[in-house]
Structure 1
Amino acid sequence: MGDHGEILDIKTADIKATAPRFHHESVALAHALTKLKHGLAAAGSPWGDDEQGEKFHKAYGPHVGQIENAAQILADGLASIHKAMVDMADGHIDNEQLIRGMFSRIRVGHDSKGDSK
């Protein structure tokens, strides 16, 4: 048992306190991604049509969608971590109450000398 009568030493308060950080960072990343997409769209092709500009665009252009997709996956992943942590904390509370209830029904017998049977 933990310090405060916990059967499992998982601090649900810590989980619940940390979970919103993942939500906050998910929202921040989604806003940054939107700003990046709008900024790139507004810029057009600032690298120009010269030879260096064309080389840059050949290397950069095909990867724009992949970069945006990867950033979206990260934002979605952070959001899912937030949800999973909240669900885990709630599930842990329910599970701990179930375990506590099961063990509270078990009584250890003692003999006349006070020794456990």
Structure 2
Amino acid sequence: MGKTEMGGGPGDGKVLDIKTADLKSAAPTFSEQSGKLRDALLELTDTLDGLGKPWGADDQGKQFGESYEPARTKIEAKAKILIAGLASIHEAMVDMSDGHIENDKLIASMFSKKGAKGGDPGKAGTGK
């Protein structure tokens, strides 16, 4: 269990080599890194907010501020997307692992001795 091979491809016929243990052990890394990135973003925004607007109120400072503020907002928004993306990879890997285990169980039941005795193909694994 944990490994799926499918023929028809080049080489040795392996299309998927999914190990559920690998998925489950790697998944938390994405959640951890999402948290670290979130913490870094919070620290950055707190520091920048604490600085105020040190570029001044003269014409050159106003020009800088007009460019800086929208750029900062965009960067912070993009970082939030990355944070959410990393967290969702964690969730997806866990879901994929769980789904793979269920799929392996389903396939195993279809080819079990009970299911191989014949009967209704719609009731695979029941022996009926």
Mark the runs of 5 or more structure 1 residues left unpaired by the alignment.
108-117
Report the TM-score, using the length of structure 1 for normalisation. 0.79
In structure 2, the CA distance between the partners of 1:70 and 1:91, relative to structure 1 (3 Å rule), is same
For 1:50 and 1:58, locate their aligned partners in 2 and report how far apart those are by CA, in whole Å. 12
Partner of 1:57: 65
In structure 2, the CA distance between the partners of 1:29 and 1:100, relative to structure 1 (3 Å rule), is same
Partner of 2:120: none
Within the candidate set 53, 68, 77, 1:69 is matched to 77
The number of residue pairs the alignment matches comes to 104
Identity %: 51
1:88 aligns with 2:99: no
Any idea what the Cα deviations from partners look like across 1:11-70, whole Å, max 9, x if unmatched? 111111111110011000111111111111111012223343222212111222221111
Within the candidate set 15, 28, 37, 2:23 is matched to 15
Report the TM-score, using the length of structure 2 for normalisation. 0.72
Mark the runs of 5 or more structure 2 residues left unpaired by the alignment.
6-16, 118-128
* CA root-mean-square deviation: 1.9
**Bigger relative CO (Cα 8 Å, ≥ 6 apart):** 1
Kindly indicate whether the alpha-carbon contact (under 8 Å) linking 1:23 and 1:79 is maintained by their aligned counterparts in 2. yes
For 1:47 and 1:99, locate their aligned partners in 2 and report how far apart those are by CA, in whole Å. 65
